[in-house]
Amino acid sequence: MNKIDLGWNDFLQQHLIRTDNENSLVGRVMLEHKRLYRVMTEKGELLSEISGKYRFEVESREEFPTVGDWVVLTERVGEGKAIINAVLPRYSKFSRKNAGTTTEEQIVAANVDTVFLVQSLNHDLNVRRLERYLISAWESGSNPVVILTKADLCNDIGNAVAEIETVAFGVPIHVVSVKERIGLEVLQHYFQRGKTVALLGSSGAGKSTLTNYLLDEEKMVIKGIREDDDKGRHTTTYRELHVLTDGGLVLDTPGMRELQLWEVESGLQSSFQDIEELAEACKFRDCTHNGEPNCAVREAIQEGKLDLSRFQSYVKLQRELAYLERKNDKRAQSVEKDKWKKVHKTVNRSKK
């Protein structure tokens, strides 16, 4: 398959790592499963694993290949297999803090041009959750687009869209229903040759149904909505990148129960630009909006120009990022310590 059809661009060309090995080539990771990777190249699909040298040199989880990455690999001719030697720099990445107590980055989607933030127009519609997705999307380097699915289940679409517009400033919003074939044509605009779109959202939001429509086949096993709480069940259990027949690529992802933020300071500013702009009008530059005189943010809340719940969400996310920053400082020190342990072990082996 042609590299351009897979998403190859000028940025990647500039960062291409060249080798003298005649069996060396580049490919894109389409699927990852237990440290095995399905990589699409111009010579076809190769089942790949990372080299021992690369595995030894990586210092953190985010340095391992992930779906959407471009990698340099060595083909094992005649076997349909390859060894991954390097990961090319990513021009965009959508990340979150890894679930659990460990402070690690989990890259959900790499080298993506557009992020579809998929929300279902049923009782699961959650503006506060969407704020988190928007923050991470702005930080990722991709263009966010809000997709409101299952329009056939909503009795007041206008009110739902108006609610989303209060947090998605300048972000395109599309209302669709795959079941009723509503609003789907406009989505084709995002799937141009070599352009990658990632579908992100919670379980049951309709990502796999939308992927099926785009692929024009029942590739995913679709599970229904639970009648007792109107929430979806997990359908996709792994990330997979698909090439569309008419051009473009779509990356379907598992539903995320929660999205813990990861280093998104600029994304926070972009998503909460209304509060950031109000804060500039406060009397004190270091105003905490917690009782200071002539606070423009508090005045806006009192006058009904700013929703109190949105401000509370802003404060909560700031605290979350401050906590993450403190944790990352400790983690960086630990990584540096482990790095030098590896160096010393290597030196000691060479002396023997």
Binding residues, as ranges, are: 149-152, 201-209, 282, 287, 289, 295
Question: What number of other Cβ atoms are within 10 A of residue 211's Cβ?
Answer: 24
**Contact, 133 vs 259, CB < 8 A?**
yes
Q: Which residues are annotated as a binding site for Zn(2+)?
A: 282, 287, 289, 295
**Phi/psi of residue 328, each to 5°?**
-65, -35
Determine the Cα–Cα distance for residues 301 and 259; give it in Å rounded to an integer.
27
Main-chain dihedrals φ then ψ at residue 164, nearest 5 degrees: -65, -35
Backbone angles phi, psi at 241, to 5 degrees: -100, 130
Q: Write out the binding residues for GTP.
A: 149-152, 201-209
- Rounded CA separation 62/87 (Å): 11
Structure tokens at 95: 């990340």
